[in-house]
Structure 1
Amino acid sequence: MPQNQKKPFEVAIIGCGIAGITLAISLLRRNIPCAIYEKAHASNEVGAGLGVSPNAQRAMIVCDPSVYSAFKKVVNGNMWESKKNIVFEFLDGMDGTADATPLFNIKIFVTELLQVLPSDVTRFNKQLESIEDHVGGRLRLFFQDGTVAEADAIIGCDGIKSKMREILVGQDDPSAKCSYTYKYAYRGMIPMDQAGEVLGEERALNATIWTGKGMHLLTYPVAHGTILNVVAYCSSSSDWPSETQLTLPAQKGDFLEDFKGFRPLVLKIIDKATNLDRWAIFDLGDHPVPTFAKGRMCIIGDAAHASSPHHGAGAALCIEDAAVLASLLAHEKVRTGTDIKAALAVFDRSRRERAQWVVQKSRRGGDLYELQTEVGNNFEKMARELRETLSVIWEFSIEDAIGEALVDLEERLSVRTERAMI
């Protein structure tokens, strides 16, 4: 099938976050019709800072160069020339690995990505309720507002509280809901001029992890070095107080109380932080989903493998997912519903093991930072383990993964064709 010929099927994407928008851009580049259905009245990604590792940047280019261009518009890194190649600097001076992880603001990035999409691709105020097979062979999507849509494939990109995951695995499956990791994070911001007064210019303009028993605090520049982002993680033995909200308002007094054992400099950082909230860390580590695909339905991103943020790999996995899935659906032999099922099955086989490994390693990373493992405060051992883990995450070849997946798909489609001819 020529690359400029439109595919004879349409994909419905549930969710308008990084995974959903990146997938839509990737599909449209490959002339695969698609539409995004988002439950909110507008894109509502929180304004958190995220790291985007080298593997994510390579996947962006595979998805579409416009995704990488949007990233370059919002990217930050360490602002100090001598620290450009340091990921996070630990308080005792221990460096990270040799490659830098640029940082960006997720809300601004999503805004830039939306500029790439045609305006008629996204439908807001569309809360998915159910999916049914239709007589004509298509899938019907039923929304809370009473409207109905049809598609030939449905991809869930609807995040940690995914309705698509619940539909795909069944509402009684343990993996239908994410589990609380018994960690939460305070988030706040400090204008860079004030941060410099507390930390000094060099420390304020570069990413730092402040470790402690049962808690750790990250500071790093965002918004092109005009704001210091503060994210402070705490372990807790108590359940999260809300069953419906993952983010709650935070009080500075509680923040200071949780970190009262830290040195005065850290407490000064906390005291300067504004716009505070408290964010529950949920993931799929306790109950990994048994499959990412079922028939012509599939889940990607946090819907498939919600992870704690301790390795900054969540966004990267979303973008890798989009690159692999779009490449499979673009295969010249994928034209019918049966072909789509094969492509989604190959996607599951290609992506699930790596993604679920990252979920477990991210949990381990949080425990390392909070001195809760057998490594304790041996920073040399901690650095060695982190380097080994990050090398697996960062050195992943998206091109090789896609190549292997396409070979797998070709074999499956060929076997089916041969059987049909017998």
Structure 2
Amino acid sequence: MATNTASSNGNENKSAAPFDVAIIGGGLIGLHVALGLLNRNIPVTVYEQASEIQEIGAGIGLTFGNEECMGVLDPRIPAAMNEVGFRTTRGIGLVNASNPEEDVTLRPQDKLFDMYIRERGRILCQRSQLMSQLLKLLPSECIKLGKRLDDIKRDEDSITLTFTDGTEVKTDAVIGCDGIKSRVRYILLGEENPASVPHYCNESAYRCLADMTKVAPILGNYATGMAAWVGHGAHIITYPVGNNKFLNVAAFVRDASGSWPDYHKQTVQASKTEIMEAFSKFSPTVRQLVDQLPDEQSRWGLFDTLDYPLQTYAYGPMALAGDAAHGSSPHHGLGAGMGVEDALVLTTVLEKVAATLLEGGPNALSHKSAAISSAFKAYDSVRRERSQYLVASSRRQGILVKLEDPEIDSAEKFMNDTDERVEKIYSFDLKLTEKQSIEEYARELQKSGKF
């Protein structure tokens, strides 16, 4: 079993928890959970299928509330994030770029945007840079690479993980943080359950970074903040990253085919020509921007869990978190932040498990699986409704920004529809969430009849 615990977070004199946790998946959420547990002296090991961690994806957005969660998980995380993050309190301007004759850069300064989503504050950064910062904080012995999960077996006392390299590991708790096409979720639910896999959103994306020196003259005032360029059947999101050296570009296109060529591949090879065709009837500004993108592209299939949502995130002493639990389309840009909230709740309830077992004596230790299961039930109770709301709202937003809802025929209707949902997503009360998590754990522990 794992023996890794925090060594430099001020918990050296605190007794290690008498149970260990295996995290499947070494992405952003897996690392946040691991750092939070280590900071509470809970032994943890991360198992990552890749031989080296090369986090895919370009830019992500995190709210100031997410930053607060990070500080509770491990005080070093916010500082690490701010090394690579770009902090903004500006809103998201939406440009109706569907007129192929209008050069939107000629608009007066106060008329640049047709609509404006009020910003509550966020931090923008490159996913790969944030991953690099988090890995610096995690002791190297806490992560095992080249570990592709094959199967999970549970008995009365422990859980056995089998990997495709033939190795086995016994652990007390498992948290699946292995992304939207989660192997953990697939094993727990079984192949006959449609919720065991995500489903195609009939939409694909092209993501890349553009050299700011080349695109700033094209975008003018639009280059300095976040902008959404909306049109019929497609839209583009742009914002600066990498200390303003690059422009993050995410181009989204509705896929009329209704199917993705290969479920097992997240991306397929593509070209800039495809993007140019999709945006051929957009404003000249958008067409010129697309012309500056790299010739070789990857087309990403967008999947989510909306059509077949999970009925629970807790499966005894096993749980799902992040995209593995509530994979979302990216139209709010807050999927990673929702996973950070998951990490906060998981570490909160597992810290309570440690206290239960350490203070309860030998009898308590004999029921550690029941305590962990109670913690994960509490986590599910606190997190499922909120995180699944994001999935539904993001799908809805993807329809609006492609001008696909005929009932939303004015900027006012667009803003009313959007602002209500965005406000709900940003409204996160950390202290209340911690309180609810602890109370739910106490209730579930009592219901278990073991304590």
| Deviation sequence 1:131-164 (CA, Å, 0-9, x none) | 11257x1111100001111110011000011010
SS in 2 for 1:180: strand
Match of 1:341 among 358, 364, 373: 373
The percentage of counterpart residues that share the same residue type is 35
In structure 1, the residue matched to 2:137 is: 116
Among candidates 24, 43, 47, match of residue 33 of structure 1: 43
2:314 paired residue among 284, 293, 296 = 293
Distance 1:165 1:125 in 2: 19
Shift of 1:320: 0.3
- Structure 1 segments unaligned to the other structure (5+ residues): 79-83
- 8 A contact 1:221–1:229 mirrored in 2: yes
CA contact (8 A) 2:92 2:228 kept: no
3-state DSSP of counterpart to 2:303: strand
Coordinate RMSD, CA, aligned = 1.9
- Alignment partner of 1:232 out of 248, 251, 257: 251
TM-score, normalising length: structure 1: 0.93
2:90 alignment counterpart: 85
**Closer, same or farther: CA 321–285 of 1 in aligned 2, 3 Å:** same
Q: Which runs of 5+ in 2 are unaligned?
A: 1-11, 97-111, 358-364
Secondary structure class of the residue paired with 1:41: coil
| CA distance in 1: counterparts of 2:34 and 2:450, whole angstroms | 33
In structure 2, the partner of 1:81 is none
CA distance in 1 between counterparts of 2:340 and 2:168 reads 29
Partner of 1:329: 350
Deviation at 1:88, TM superposition (A): 3.9
Q: Which residue is equivalent to 1:171?
A: 191
* 1:372 alignment counterpart: 404
The residue that corresponds to 1:199 in the other structure is 219
2:86 aligned partner: 76
Taking the aligned partners of 1:293 and 1:277, their CA distance within structure 2 comes to 35
* Residue number in structure 2 paired with 1:55: 65
Take 1:347 and 1:217, find their aligned partners in 2: how far apart are those partners?
Answer: 35
SS of equivalent residue, structure 2 residue 18: coil
Q: Report what 1:242 is aligned to.
A: 262
Matches within 5 A, 1:127-142: 127-134=148-155, 137-142=157-162
Is the counterpart of residue 188 in structure 1 residue 220 in structure 2? no
In the TM superposition, structure 1's runs of 4+ consecutive aligned residues that sit over 6 Å from their partners are none
The residue aligned with 1:259 is 279
CA distance in structure 1 between the aligned counterparts of 2:373 and 2:380, rounded to whole angstroms: 11
Structure 1 residues 297-316: Cα deviation after superposition (integer angstroms, max 9, x where no partner) = 11100000000000112111
Moved more, 68-77 or 302-311: 68-77
Contact 1:168 1:293 in 2 (8 A): no
* 8 Å CA contact retained: 1:296, 1:337: yes
1:374 shift after superposition: 4.0
Asked whether the 8 Å contact 1:87–1:99 carries over to 2, the reply is no
* Partner Cα separation in structure 2 for residue 259 and residue 174 of structure 1: 34
More moved, 302-311 vs 61-70: 61-70
Partner SS, residue 107 of structure 1? helix
Q: Give the conservation status (yes or no) of the 8 Å contact 1:214–1:370.
A: yes
Query: For residues 135 and 79 of structure 2, what CA distance do their matches in structure 1 show?
Result: 12
Verify the 8 A CA contact 2:56 2:128 in the aligned structure 1: yes
Aligned residue for 2:129, secondary structure, equals: helix
Structure 2 match to 1:304: 325
Which residue identity is paired with 2:91?
I
How many Å apart are 1:108 and its aligned residue? 0.9
Amino acid at match of 2:215: A
Q: Which moved more, 1:367-376 or 1:119-128?
A: 367-376
**1:214-225 correspondence runs (5 A):** 214-225=233-244
Deviation at 1:188, TM superposition (A): 2.3
SS at match of 1:90: strand
Q: Secondary structure at the match of 1:330?
A: helix
| Contact persistence 2:57–2:207 (CA under 8 A) | no
In the alignment, residue 309 of structure 1 is paired with which amino acid?
A: P
* 2:232 aligned partner: 213
Normalised by the length of structure 2, the TM-score is 0.88
Deviation at 1:278, TM superposition (A): 1.2
Which stretch shows the higher mean deviation, 169-178 or 300-309? Answer: 169-178
Does the C-alpha gap of structure 1 residues 251 and 420 become closer, same or farther in structure 2, counting only changes over 3 Å?
Answer: closer
Change (3 A) 1:258 1:333: same
